[in-house]
Structure 1
Amino acid sequence: MGNILDCSTAEPVQPEPTIQDGPPDTTEVPMLEDKVPLMESKIWTYLRDYYKRNNAVFNANPETPTFISNSSYIASSYANVIIKFVNDWFKTPSCDKSKPIYIVEVGAGQGRLGFLILKKLMSMKQYFPEGVKLPFVYVITDFTSESILKMKSHKWYADFVSQGVVDFAVVDCEDIPSITLEVSNVHLTAETITNPLFVIANYVLSSLRNDAIRVENNALQRGLLSVSSPQDNVDVLNIIPRLQFTWNFVDMPETVYNDYDEDVKTLIQEYKTTIPNGTVLLPVVALRMLRQLLALSNNRLVFLSGDVGTRVLAKLSASRNPYITTHGSFSMPANLHALDCFVKARGGTVFASPYLEGFINSVYVMGINPALLTTTRWMIHHEFSTFTPESFNVTQKCLKEESSPSPSVAAVIAVLRLAHFDTDVFMRFKQVLIERGGYAGSAPSTRKDILYDLDAVRTQYYPIKSTADVCFELARIHMGIKEYDKAISLFADSNENCADHHVTWHNMGMCYEYKNDIENAKRCYMKSLDIKPSYRESKLKLSKLATEMKSDSSATPKPVSS
């Protein structure tokens, strides 16, 4: 439970990725499949099953690292690029002002990034293009109907649905002939899309099906994967971290080469002539997805990606076996060089981050003259070539790990503002604000600023992990600075989002008691005891109120630690 006080100081743990390149030892383990082409391996079935089951369950504490790809910082970066493109496009003579630009997020998972992007976009409503009734519709998509159903009915999206700025669709990145919107019942095809299609693929490319080849002295070999696991009968949701991989490479028959589509064949020939010796991943499904999206958009496509990968051929074609990184699910480095080649071959423009390490953002523009996108180009440069999402991720991580014994309140507030009030950043540094805030006696202007910051954190909250009870921690801070009404409201939000807890009700009772609202205080203490009859603190409070109906409202209450 995220709202248990004695657990609140524990930081969320992100499992360290592990790279498995061959069997870890000589112990014999059950073989799940032997020497199968990577494209045809059952690991892709395991991955789809993992996401199907995990994305459909909110508050399930997903293991896959998501901070950098789902933070308020990166959402703000993407929203800034989107709003610039929307304004640029609706100034062109080719625009259709009677129809919106569809912003399609593929592989949206549990929908947090889309929620944060929409929050940012709607905060910039005053900058929407003039004379356009509905400039965009943000389309949340996933390949599982279960997760789309969950998000479509999620109360966090209700306001956006009523404003007509969000829709939902089941979209499988392995095959996108068209898109049917769930709310408006609009069928997006090449005939119905009259403005460019803007697609977001965030931490998606590295999870799409690849094939693997090796070039050895001008000869082509195909990668065959053997998969084993010490437990071959465990639930597929848990089997991925236990998988062990062994690679073999065999000569590629001409019939196999001929089965690839023309884009992949072109890549293979380029790699055969430019790579003396090395192994490379072929993003077969990613290229097919781009090709289908381009057809769907009438050859006017903007494709914004963020992922772990490389576009440097020398790094791409390593001599070692391909990486398979496991972290709850698994991923493989995205071959951005292949996507660059695809776009350039069609006369498109590649806007690539100049940085080569970490989480890399790219924007591909096809069928649109870049000269028409003046402010878009500037914003892409600003967001992805200066202080990038990867740079912010490193900054907040270093502040946490390198400050001894802990960062100052001023530093925490500064990084929280830089984070666009991201809730994960707040949870990482919450203890500094709880223990060393001391805002009750601050100057009025300082207090007002801090309350503004805390309210801003609340607007970014999208409940996924029950262990990250943001409202409870915000309530603790408000309680400490005597903002009792706000604390009560936040404690109530905590109960609603992360289930009733006896400590939450007890702290609500304390807030009412310090407001001298004795009846409500007693009601909350009794509710705490309904949940946990043995809870000593609530028993003592009720006993005290029974004999002493007056409380010192000027004292600052200390939240109880269970």
Structure 2
Amino acid sequence: SRLIGDLSVVDVVTTMGGEPPPSKGGTADTPSRHVSSVDPSFAAAASGTAAGAATPAAPPPKRERCELETFTRCSESHLWRLMMSFYDRKGVGAWDQGIVPHFITCNAFIGRAYANVLKGLITDCARIGRGGRSPESMALDPTEPLYILEMGTGSGKFAFFMLKALAEMKEVLEFPFEKIVYVMTDFTEENVNFWQSHPGLAPYFESGHLDSAVFNGVTDTHIKLLRSGIVLEPGKLKNPVVVVANYLFDTLCHDIFQTKEGRLTEGLISVGSTRAKEPDPLDPEIIQRLDNRFEYREITDRYYMPTEGDDGEHLQRILGWYRDHFQKNHPNDGASILLPIGALRAIRRLTALSAGRCLVLSGDKGHNNPEHFTGLLDPHIAVHGSFSVMVNYHAVGMYFTSRGGFALHNPQEEASLKVSAFVLTGDTTSNDDNNGLVLDWSTDGAVEERDWDRAAAFPNLSIAFRDSVDRFGPNDFFVLQKSLKEDASAPALKAVVALLKLGDWDPDVFYKFRDPLLNQAPTCGAKLRNDLLRGIPRVWENYFVLDRDKDVAFEIGRFYYGVRQYASALRFYKESSESIGEHHVTYHNMGLCHYSMNSPKTAIGFFNKSLTLNSSYAKAASWRDKVQKEVDNSDAVVQQAAGGEGTGSSTQKQPSTQPSGEGGQLVTDRAGDGGDTDTSTRGELAQDLEVLSLDEKSKTQTSTDTPQ
């Protein structure tokens, strides 16, 4: 079995609870109990005598364990209170400090992919009554808002990218863009306050396209929008609701089940810590020292009834499908199943806002092929600051099918991020067999066939999902940029440009590949340089300030300096100082720009600013002295010329050997793609670039470039 840590058999227990409660919905059978793992030395000791020894081996050292909670249903366990405590106490710091990985779901590529899928749904729904095949219940009212509700928004970065993509395609949307309202939600107020003050989100708040709310999808039934004051309540929305949930379902509460030989058992969990005592049971650091135990008890056929209301019938069908499927196909192996009950409860609450009409887009780590559940194992819990489990997207899809909807899954199995789309076209009673709501597990593939039949009524949605997710989707983009970064020691500039174009010039990708960009751009051919000059402004358009260790503006300034666009370089060095903070290297580089633009006295001022921040910075002192000497010599020449006017002297000031910069002007190269221009100043330019290359490494203490 798999879980956190190397856990040995425990005799000393500090407990915070009493005896295990009886299994809810189950029987009083004696449970089978599992430890997460066993110290390897215990197995040798248990054999009685160590190899070659005359006396029994010494038992392993005993380890203490603080039991935070006795055995209980997983979805009700202390585990999820620790999760809530982590995000509540860390706030946005969970993302801007890199504690929680987020790049894979927060980049320009995935924002555009989701926007394309939504565009497909809008097209299908807008054409109802005009030859479209979608059910009439999904018809759009262009006079009413179309709400996009993101659960667990976190930093707001994904919302920024998806809204931006939708705004850029508004001319081809078959629904008025001004009626689209994106609502960012989270359960912690700190995140909501962060969004309100973020400069990248401000234009969307001001235009009314963006709103926010404090919302717990597992427990809350209505959403009060903070900006508009509107309250979203069950049955209130005139248009279908669009739900976005990235890296969320894996952190909401789950229930554990196993099935073998036609029997279903529930997994109970005892949450513990490797320490003897935990004064604060909600301390998020406990996650790093989890020491959990599991036991399994047989359950009845009505495990979720009546506690889950209308969903009880759907959930029982799902559990019954797994029981019968694995009894038929893997009778000797059994299966271990996680049911994302927290996600399903949230979906029920959100879809109630629009009478069961919705599109749900979700990306997470998980499985949509039930064959991955084969075997009897304890659930694997991954720790990454917080913790997460693998999402059972197959069960989520069956839930939608049972409610009369359908699922679109990406069948790719080797993927860090699984993206699925789920559609409901309106609720009917959960026990209405005549409408095909009961899952048919008597024939393999029946659920998938029903999904395909229902998806055929949404051809534009299906094609958009195929093109933006299935054929080459967010996970593929993540893998591609990660491989180019980690596997290529010196990636070619053309390859980097191609990747940037594929990712819509995503700022994080630009930052990851700044070294090959800055090293090769000054000497590359004019055509490739022009492609970069056209694309780099897009990097800044897509910039969402979050991780202040990644000074994107500074790196853009370095790029422009390298290609002799000094005015543009100055603009971004100034932006870096204002948005990230003053730094002696930034002022030093600004001095180099002014010197290159034949403004030596202004350059001296910036070298002095650099030295004010860091008086021991030798490079700024050296350049200041060098330029000051040139200015003094130039002034002396001018004075000498002025004094000798009556004698016919014609001495003139010598021009600087640095090239003058005309920011924004593209370089042209009539010699061809591989040629260079203005080679007379190449030596001095290289000298300056060397200074920048060396100085940059002390600019910031950046975290690893490994994509997350």
Aligned equivalent of 1:485, options 551, 557, 567: 567
| Alpha-carbon shift at residue 99 of structure 1 (Å) | 1.5
| Alpha-carbon shift at residue 85 of structure 1 (Å) | 2.5
Rounded Cα–Cα distance in structure 1 between residues aligned with 2:553 and 2:498: 21
CA contact (8 A) 2:87 2:94 kept: no
Q: 1:59 to 1:337 in 2, by over 3 A?
A: closer
SS in 1 for 2:104: helix
The aligned counterpart of 2:472 is 387
The aligned counterpart of 1:241 is 288
SS in 2 for 1:279: strand
SS in 1 for 2:216: coil
Q: 1:389 to 1:272 in 2, by over 3 A?
A: same
Give the TM-score of the pair, scaled to structure 1.
Answer: 0.89
Q: How does 1:128-139 map to 2 (within 5 A)?
A: 128-129=173-174, 132=176, 134-139=178-183
Task: Output the amino acid matched with 1:487.
Answer: A
Q: 1:173 to 1:24 in 2, by over 3 A?
A: farther
The aligned counterpart of 2:500 is 416
Task: Output the amino acid matched with 1:142.
Answer: D
The question of 1:495 aligning with 2:495 is answered no
- Cα deviations by residue, 1:259-309 (Å, 9 ceiling, x for unpaired): 652133333333333334222112111111121122111121111111111
Rounded Cα–Cα distance in structure 2 between residues aligned with 1:544 and 1:28: 67
- Cα deviations by residue, 1:527-551 (Å, 9 ceiling, x for unpaired): 2223222222222233333322275
The aligned counterpart of 2:363 is 306
Task: Output the amino acid matched with 1:99.
Answer: E
The answer to which of 251-260 and 272-281 deviates more is 251-260
Aligned equivalent of 2:141, options 85, 96, 118: 96
The question of 1:83 aligning with 2:119 is answered yes
The answer to which of 184-193 and 164-173 deviates more is 184-193
- Alignment RMSD (CA, Å): 2.6
The question of 1:270 aligning with 2:321 is answered yes
| Alpha-carbon shift at residue 356 of structure 1 (Å) | 2.5
| Alpha-carbon shift at residue 519 of structure 1 (Å) | 4.2
Q: How does 1:251-270 map to 2 (within 5 A)?
A: 251-252=298-299, 258=305, 260-261=307-308, 262=312, 263-270=314-321
CA contact (8 A) 1:86 1:135 kept: no
CA contact (8 A) 1:57 1:147 kept: no
Rounded Cα–Cα distance in structure 2 between residues aligned with 1:30 and 1:538: 57
The aligned counterpart of 1:28 is 63
The question of 1:334 aligning with 2:391 is answered yes
Rounded Cα–Cα distance in structure 2 between residues aligned with 1:133 and 1:226: 50
| Alpha-carbon shift at residue 220 of structure 1 (Å) | 3.3
The aligned counterpart of 2:157 is 112
Rounded Cα–Cα distance in structure 2 between residues aligned with 1:299 and 1:120: 27
| Alpha-carbon shift at residue 195 of structure 1 (Å) | 0.8
Rounded Cα–Cα distance in structure 2 between residues aligned with 1:250 and 1:133: 52
SS in 2 for 1:177: coil
The question of 1:430 aligning with 2:519 is answered no
The aligned counterpart of 1:45 is 81
Q: Select the structure of larger CA radius of gyration.
A: 2
CA contact (8 A) 1:128 1:135 kept: no
Rounded Cα–Cα distance in structure 1 between residues aligned with 2:657 and 2:509: 35
SS in 2 for 1:43: helix
Q: How does 1:456-467 map to 2 (within 5 A)?
A: 456-467=538-549
CA contact (8 A) 1:514 1:553 kept: yes
| Alpha-carbon shift at residue 23 of structure 1 (Å) | 4.5
CA contact (8 A) 2:217 2:350 kept: no
Aligned equivalent of 1:472, options 518, 531, 554: 554
Rounded Cα–Cα distance in structure 2 between residues aligned with 1:255 and 1:129: 45
Task: Output the amino acid matched with 1:105.
Answer: E
The question of 1:287 aligning with 2:344 is answered yes
| Alpha-carbon shift at residue 448 of structure 1 (Å) | 2.4
Gaps of 5+ in 1: 1-16
Give the TM-score of the pair, scaled to structure 2.
Answer: 0.72
Q: 1:335 to 1:77 in 2, by over 3 A?
A: same
- Cα deviations by residue, 1:515-536 (Å, 9 ceiling, x for unpaired): 2233432332232223222222
Q: 1:102 to 1:254 in 2, by over 3 A?
A: closer
| Alpha-carbon shift at residue 59 of structure 1 (Å) | 7.3
| Alpha-carbon shift at residue 325 of structure 1 (Å) | 1.0
CA contact (8 A) 2:494 2:528 kept: no
The question of 1:542 aligning with 2:624 is answered yes
SS in 2 for 1:156: coil
SS in 1 for 2:292: strand
CA contact (8 A) 1:58 1:464 kept: no
Q: How many residues align?
A: 542
CA contact (8 A) 2:265 2:298 kept: yes
SS in 2 for 1:548: helix
CA contact (8 A) 2:167 2:177 kept: no
Q: 1:450 to 1:339 in 2, by over 3 A?
A: same
| Alpha-carbon shift at residue 210 of structure 1 (Å) | 0.4
The answer to which of 492-501 and 160-169 deviates more is 492-501
| Alpha-carbon shift at residue 133 of structure 1 (Å) | 6.2
Q: 1:524 to 1:204 in 2, by over 3 A?
A: same
The aligned counterpart of 1:442 is 525
The aligned counterpart of 2:420 is 362
Q: 1:30 to 1:495 in 2, by over 3 A?
A: farther
Rounded Cα–Cα distance in structure 2 between residues aligned with 1:240 and 1:493: 39
Rounded Cα–Cα distance in structure 1 between residues aligned with 2:541 and 2:376: 48
Q: 1:245 to 1:499 in 2, by over 3 A?
A: farther
The answer to which of 458-467 and 340-349 deviates more is 458-467
| Alpha-carbon shift at residue 241 of structure 1 (Å) | 2.8
CA contact (8 A) 1:302 1:365 kept: yes
Task: Output the amino acid matched with 1:106.
Answer: M
SS in 1 for 2:383: strand
SS in 1 for 2:271: strand
| Alpha-carbon shift at residue 202 of structure 1 (Å) | 1.1
| Alpha-carbon shift at residue 253 of structure 1 (Å) | 7.5
Counting aligned pairs with the same residue, the percent is 30
| Alpha-carbon shift at residue 383 of structure 1 (Å) | 1.3
Bigger RCO (CA 8 Å, 6+ sep): 1
Rounded Cα–Cα distance in structure 2 between residues aligned with 1:418 and 1:19: 38
SS in 2 for 1:323: coil
Rounded Cα–Cα distance in structure 2 between residues aligned with 1:29 and 1:77: 49
